[in-house]
Each structure stands twice: as structure tokens, then as C-alpha cells.
Amino acid sequence: MKRLLILGATGSIGTQALDVVARAPEAFELVGLSAERSHAELVAQARTHGVERIALSDPDAAARAAEAWTEGQVLSGPDGLVRLVAETGADLVLNAIVGSAGLGPTIVALTEGIDVALANKESLVVGGELVMALSEATGAQLIPVDSEHSALHQLIESERPGTVERLTLTASGGPFRGRSRAELADVGVEEALRHPTWAMGGKITIDSATLMNKGLEVIEAHWLFGTPYDRIDVVVHPQSIVHALVALCDGATLAHLGHPDMRVPIAYALHHPERVDVPVRALDLAEVGSLSFEPPDLDAFPCLRLAREAAVAGGTATCVLNAANEVAVHAFLSGRLDFMGIPAVIEAALERLPAARVHSFDTLYDADAEARRTAAESIEVRA
């Protein structure tokens, strides 16, 4: 039995993870749940799943939860989240928080030697070098939940070191695939939230529409698998059936296929190294008919180019990229920024805040805060 903690339990990944856990009561003891502010939903989850400790990052929400729920312990604020991770005696933490807010809990878990099933790709985008060093130092494992990286983890696991030459991540292309830069000038929030193949949280859905999500995933793959950036390719594949490919030294290329359903990579990460039944539709390629592939359009979707440039610049650049993106996406979702303003705000932040060396996690927290201020200023100027 694994003692499991789910962070970001009320989100898209969090709720699907609870479904995976409920199907395998013999495999997990759910020891804690967290959310940012959705207290009623978190308390309901705690009751349903018999959990005794929850944490809400928003102190007011935590106070409301403590009034409504007296059967267990409610931890409050960012410190409460840290305590939940450090003091609950978990064997595995699923980090399904969105954004750079997920970095702190990843660090705490790894520091305590606790394995992390990582959905929060931002942890690696912001602090990849230090996060991987920490995992190495404490022996705590990082198991990816992101579908492409889960696919790569499965493909690479059985290969000897030195045999993998290139990695390919597939991208659905999002709702705006095929549109030109000019045609993207006045797209609205609702259209951007209509993802063709995956149902996900708001932030990652917008990241998929700008292709920033794939940029973040290139950086995530670099750190997880130690692959140089010039050996990580992106190909647009609108059906989202092939999740990733690895090219080996002998000319063989291996692919990972399946209908898009996040419960597959979630179950893989939570049960690893075991495999369990997941009730998903079997893949029938004759029924799918055809799979198509095309190169990404970097002119219409500059975020992918910006992510690669920041990745190569290294240091604080990917932290700045991520923070500016979070602020810009939030502004777009609340109607304060146009769609093409997202890459413009990120590019301006990267220009104004040149890459610096990362000495410690504090360097990253400072760079994150500065990038948020810079991005907020550009958004005001644009409006």
C-alpha cells in the first residue's frame, strides 16, 4: 500500500487521479489532499475518500473548511501546504498544482526523499536543474504524468543508456491549428478554451492554443531525460493518438499510442512500477483511419520559438518565460489582453530580464517575482 498525497486535488488532473485511486483501494492509502481555495469541493473529496488531512493555500478558504469539517485536520496557507507534504509521512506525492506555485511542494517532497508523480511541468520549467539535482541527491524519483513524457518514460525505460538519439513530442496543434498570425489577432477566450482533443484546466488549455504548452514540454523533457535541446523535436499531430516517439541509434523509432485519456499516464505514474487495468477505449487503428503529422507554424505560434530560445539561454530565462506566460494567460482569460499579446508580453519580459545564473531556489523566486511585475507592466501599456 502506498501512502499517497494529492496536491491540486480539485483540478482536472486531481479529480481524474481520485478516480484512478478509487479503482484500486488495495493499492493506496490516501493520506492528504490540497487545493488553492475551493474548500467545499475539497471537504467533499475528503469525506468521500476518507482522508484525514487537507490543506488550502488560501487562508480564508482554510478557515471556512475548518468550520464545515471537524472530522480531520485543515492546514492553512503556503506553510500549511509545506507541512502537508513534509509531515504526513507520504510515500508518493502527486503534484497536480498549476503554475510555478507547484515548485515549492516539489522541492519539499524531494528534500524529504518522497517520490513525486509530476503533473506540474512548471516545476521543471522553472527549476529543472536544481530539481533534478535534488532528486539525484535524495534518491527520490520523479515520475512524469504529462502524457508525452509518460510515453517517453515508458519507451526509454527498457533502453540501454546511449542508445536513444532523438525524442519527438507530438502536439495536437490546439483549436487554432492552420490559422495564420493575422487570423489569430482577434480570437476570443471561448474559442481558445475549446481544445479539440483534451479536456483540461484553463491555463494549460490556453497554453495548448498558443503552443506554449509544447515549449514548456520541450524543457520538461530536457530535464527529465537529460536530452540536449537540439535532439528534442516537436511535430503537430491533430488526432493525439501518438503521444511521443524515440529514435534509437540503430534506425528504429518507437512510438507510444492510445486514445487521449489522462487516466492512462496518471495510473502509470501512481502505480509505477506496476501496471493495472484502466477502463479506456481500446485503440482500433482501422477505426481511426489515418494519422497525420505536420511541422509547427512558428510564425503564427511564436510561444514555441520563445520557449526554445529561453531554454537555450538557460539560467533564469525559463523561469522568466514561465512567469510572464502565467501572467499573460491570466490577463487573456480575464479579457485584459489579446491573444497575440501573450507572446508579445513574454518576449518583452525575456528582453528586459536577461538570463542570469541560478545559485539557489531564492534566485528563482526573485526572477519569478520580477518577471511577473514586468509582464504586468507590459499588459497595462498594451491596454
User: From the CB of residue 312, how many other CB atoms can be counted at a distance below 10 Å?
Assistant: 13
201 binds, among Mg ion, ligand NAD, none (CB under 5 to 8 A by kind): ligand NAD
By beta-carbon proximity to Mg ion, the closer residue of 74 and 119 is 119
Nearer to ligand NAD, 238 or 348 (CB): 238
Q: Retrieve residue 244's grid coordinates.
A: 511521443
Determine, following the binding rule CB under 5 A, whether residue 207 of this chain makes contact with Mg ion.
no
Among residues 200 and 306, whose Cβ is nearest to ligand NAD? 200
**Grid coordinates of 272:** 509505477
In terms of CB distance, is 99 or 128 closer to ligand NAD? 99
**From ligand NAD, Mg ion, none, which one binds at residue 10 (CB under 5 to 8 Å depending on kind)?**
ligand NAD
Q: To the nearest whole angstrom, how small is the minimum distance from the Cβ of residue 214 to ligand NAD?
A: 11
Amino acid found at 226 = G
Q: 296 preceded by cis ω (within 30°)?
A: no
Q: Do the beta carbons of residue 319 and residue 359 sit within 8 Å?
A: no
Binder of residue 121, out of ligand NAD, Mg ion, none (CB less than 5 to 8 A by kind): ligand NAD
Residues 37, 25 contacting (CB under 8 angstroms): no
**Binding-site partner at residue 196 among ligand NAD, Mg ion, none, CB < 5 to 8 Å by type:** none
Q: Which does 11 bind (CB under 5 to 8 A by kind): Mg ion, ligand NAD, none?
A: ligand NAD
Instruction: Report, in Å, the least distance between residue 66 CB and Mg ion.
Output: 36
The least distance separating ligand NAD from the CB of residue 263, rounded to whole angstroms, comes to: 10
Cell numbers describing residue 20: 484512478
The DSSP output letter for 299 is: T
CB of 246 to Mg ion, least distance (A): 16
User: Percentage helix, strand, coil, to 5, in the chain?
Assistant: 50, 15, 35
Q: Quick check: 172 and 195 in contact, CB under 8 A?
A: yes
Q: Name which position in 36, 146, 220, 368 contacts Mg ion (CB under 5 A).
A: 146
State the sign of the Cα–Cα–Cα–Cα dihedral 61, 64, 69, 73: positive
Instruction: Report, in Å, the least distance between residue 188 CB and ligand NAD.
Output: 20
| Least distance CB 227 / ligand NAD (angstroms) | 19
Q: Which does 170 bind (CB under 5 to 8 A by kind): ligand NAD, Mg ion, none?
A: none
Residue 167, phi then psi, degrees to nearest 5: -115, 145
Q: What does 85 bind: ligand NAD, Mg ion, none (CB cut-off 5 to 8 Å by kind)?
A: none
Q: Which residue is nearest to Mg ion (CB)?
A: 146
**Smallest separation, CB 96 to ligand NAD (Å):** 5
Closest CA to 200 of 123, 260, 271, 276: 260
Q: Which is nearer to ligand NAD, 198 or 361 (CB)?
A: 198
The item of ligand NAD, Mg ion, none sharing an interface with residue 154, based on CB under 5 to 8 Å by kind, is: none
Pattern 88-127, binding to Mg ion, x per CB under 5 A?
Answer: ----------------------------------------
Residue whose Cβ sits closest to ligand NAD:
11
Place of cell 511541468: 121
Angle at 108 between CA 27 and CA 76, to 5 degrees: 90
Which grid cell sits at 314? 538557460
Give me the phi and psi of 116, to 5 degrees please: -125, 125
Residue 17 makes CB contacts below 8 A (sequence gap 6+) with 6, 9, 94, 96, 266, 270
**Within 10 A of 258 (CB to CB), how many other CB atoms are there?**
18
| Residue closer to ligand NAD (CB basis): 265 or 302 | 265
DSSP-derived pairing of the beta strands 164-171 and 115-118: unpaired
Interacting residues with ligand NAD (CB under 6 A):
8-14, 35-36, 38, 57, 96-99, 101, 119-122, 146, 198, 200-201, 203-204, 262
Q: Footprint of Mg ion on this chain (CB under 5 A)? A: 146-148
